Structure 1
Amino acid sequence: MTSHYFSFADADVVLRSAAPHATEFRVHKSLLSAASPFFKHMFALPQKPLSTACPEVPVIDVYEPKSTLEALLRFVYPTSRPSIDTLDELTPILEAAMKYDMVSVIDILRARLVAPDFARVAPTRVYAIACRFDLEEEAKVASRHTLNVNVLDCPLHDDLKHITAYAYHRLLDLHRKRAKAAQELLQLSEDVKCMQCNGARYHAFLPPKWWSDFHERAKQELAVRPTTDVVFSMPFLAHSAQAGCERCAGSILDAHWFLDQLKRKIDDLPSTI
């Protein structure tokens, strides 16, 4: 079987994908050599012609399946790039690009790996893949996105088999330290008041009832997801307003400056491995 995309008449080498759907890709040594030091060195060695369709052209058997090899070559050749819509599609292509040292393809796939539709939806998987291939910058980006999820309650995936205990510990350590630091910042300013909660003892500092509820739930939330996305959301604050007195909702509105400052302090905490 010959590839639909790669069946050039002037090809001087054939790459044959792995069984069971072995496919011949009739390509050019010059392009592969420019894209890959691996192939450049390989082509310096004598190649035995084995192609039945074109006996004068040497054939190289590779371990990649048809879909992976085709996608890889589409990144190398000046043709339409393949659409990579899932991490299951990206990982084998990235693995092949790493194997053949195709730097330009690796750079494209690194950017795709940390695109929002991957990093936000499956941050722990992205982190695991980045660590597997020693992509430190991408691992840092992914680690920031993991702050929005409970890393101890994420779906178990085979990607985690390929990372070290050290890499996983780094992620847990980030969550633990940031959660602790964020919880310690939950200190109420004495300028935040509630007319009804303070009542006759207005000159004595008593925390509004909404703060007591907010403080307790925020500590619990930050312990699991040490980010500000949930604890400063309207539903979260509304719950605290309802848990307080009749004037606590107004107190929360008046304390917007304090909540903004608190949010910024938490956001400024170290957020990557």
Structure 2
Amino acid sequence: MADTKKIAIAQAPFDDHNCDIILRSANGVDFHVFKLILSLVSPVFKDMFALPQGESQSNISSVPVITVTESSTTLDSLLLLCYPAATPTFGSFNDAKAVMEAASKYDMQTALGRAGDLVMAQFLSHRCLDLYAVSCQFGWPHHARTAATRSLEIKDLGRPSHMFNGIRDISALDLHRLLDYHYKCGIAAQAVGSSLSWLEPSHKPMQMWKDCTCKPDVGVKLQKNFGNVYVTSLFHEYLVFSGKKLLARPCESTLLSELSHYNRVITDATECSSCRSTVVEDMHNFRALYISRVKKVIAAIEGV
């Protein structure tokens, strides 16, 4: 047992001397809390409080002390999740994971749910694979889907270089579902530029497939839902190139960041006196339609 002289008191709101129970962290910090609040959020603590309490181990007269295995950092965030109008900020993903594991240990389902929402908001941008893992671990299908969708920004997911810490906490089936989802999204996203059958007839006047006498080497013939049209060879190259990129990284940012072939179409068209006035706007509008369609087909993919 830690020496009483070395025991510290937690910061507000866990320093209230009117408390009726003290939780002592593994590193010797006392949290002054209330049985009613803990009993409402945790069946484990409720059952614990029903047992006869030992003599007080604190300098607060008649207040029992329960020593727990969690650190003060974990305990502070965990208890904040249980208190109304209190929201913790996690110092790291590992800190957040320790809090979620503690919430599960004490069967604090409301606190666990809040922790899941907070960790998704705080770490989704750079820890999507680990968030997918914890979502599988704690049974959060909606968060698993969100994290899996964000993982589409990872190129060629599934190669050995994409090891992540959370892989130790999920089953092979969960990992397979994630990789299968990424692959299916890549196939669906690549197919968007393969046929263009999804384009509305109103988009036919766009410059990229407009018959232009200054471009005798008009490229590949494609079937559309509004009949047979032609596209310039450079625009066809753009569709093929972007499709390959989407197969490996099926997300909106792929189309926004891969600019080499996009810019080549524009540069080529600006050499034509009749094309140069519209090609920039047409390519911008087409890419917006392209992105919208990619997002739509990905949203329809099931698997996580």
Q: TM-score, normalised by structure 2?
A: 0.75
| 2:117 corresponding residue in structure 1 | 111
Amino acid at match of 1:145: R
| CA distance 1:262–1:92, shift in 2 (3 Å) | same
**Deviation digits for residues 128-150 of structure 1, max 9, x if unmatched?**
22122221111111111111222
- Residue among 140, 150, 168 paired with 2:175: 168
Q: Following TM superposition, where does structure 1 have runs of at least 4 consecutive aligned residues deviating by more than 6 angstroms?
A: none
**Deviation digits for residues 98-144 of structure 1, max 9, x if unmatched?**
222223322321221221x5212221122122122221111111111
- CA-based RMSD of the aligned residues comes to 3.2
Residue 32 of structure 1: how far off its partner (Å): 1.0
Number of equivalenced pairs: 270
| Corresponding position: 1:227 with 2:234 | no
Of residues 132-141 and 104-113 in structure 1, the stretch that sits farther from structure 2 once superposed is 104-113
Residue 40 of structure 1: how far off its partner (Å): 0.9
1:201 and 1:128 map into 2 onto residues whose CA distance is 49
| 2:239 corresponding residue in structure 1 | 215
Alignment of 1:147-162 (within 5 A): 147-150=152-155, 151-152=157-158, 156-162=163-169
| Corresponding position: 1:241 with 2:265 | yes
- Residue among 43, 53, 60 paired with 2:49: 43
| Corresponding position: 1:199 with 2:205 | no
Kindly indicate whether the alpha-carbon contact (under 8 Å) linking 1:147 and 1:226 is maintained by their aligned counterparts in 2. yes
| Corresponding position: 1:11 with 2:19 | yes
Kindly indicate whether the alpha-carbon contact (under 8 Å) linking 1:131 and 1:167 is maintained by their aligned counterparts in 2. yes
Any stretches of 5+ residues in structure 2 without a counterpart?
A: 1-6, 198-203, 222-228
Residue 23 of structure 1: how far off its partner (Å): 2.2
| CA distance 1:183–1:238, shift in 2 (3 Å) | closer
Amino acid at match of 1:83: T
2:51 and 2:189 map into 1 onto residues whose CA distance is 59
Residue 180 of structure 1: how far off its partner (Å): 1.0
Kindly indicate whether the alpha-carbon contact (under 8 Å) linking 1:74 and 1:82 is maintained by their aligned counterparts in 2. yes
| Corresponding position: 1:81 with 2:87 | yes
| 2:224 corresponding residue in structure 1 | none
| CA distance 1:201–1:13, shift in 2 (3 Å) | closer
| 1:99 corresponding residue in structure 2 | 105
1:93 and 1:87 map into 2 onto residues whose CA distance is 10
1:131 and 1:255 map into 2 onto residues whose CA distance is 41
| Corresponding position: 1:262 with 2:290 | yes
| CA distance 1:240–1:128, shift in 2 (3 Å) | farther
Aligned partner of residue 15 in structure 1, secondary structure: strand
Alignment of 1:172-187 (within 5 A): 172-187=179-194
Q: TM-score, normalised by structure 1?
A: 0.83
| 1:34 corresponding residue in structure 2 | 40
| 1:59 corresponding residue in structure 2 | 65
Any stretches of 5+ residues in structure 1 without a counterpart?
A: none
Aligned partner of residue 60 in structure 1, secondary structure: strand
Kindly indicate whether the alpha-carbon contact (under 8 Å) linking 1:132 and 1:162 is maintained by their aligned counterparts in 2. yes
| 1:129 corresponding residue in structure 2 | 134
Aligned partner of residue 207 in structure 1, secondary structure: strand
Amino acid at match of 1:182: A
| CA distance 1:140–1:234, shift in 2 (3 Å) | closer
Kindly indicate whether the alpha-carbon contact (under 8 Å) linking 1:12 and 1:27 is maintained by their aligned counterparts in 2. yes
Kindly indicate whether the alpha-carbon contact (under 8 Å) linking 1:15 and 1:60 is maintained by their aligned counterparts in 2. yes
Residue 253 of structure 1: how far off its partner (Å): 4.0
Of residues 38-47 and 72-81 in structure 1, the stretch that sits farther from structure 2 once superposed is 72-81
1:200 and 1:236 map into 2 onto residues whose CA distance is 21
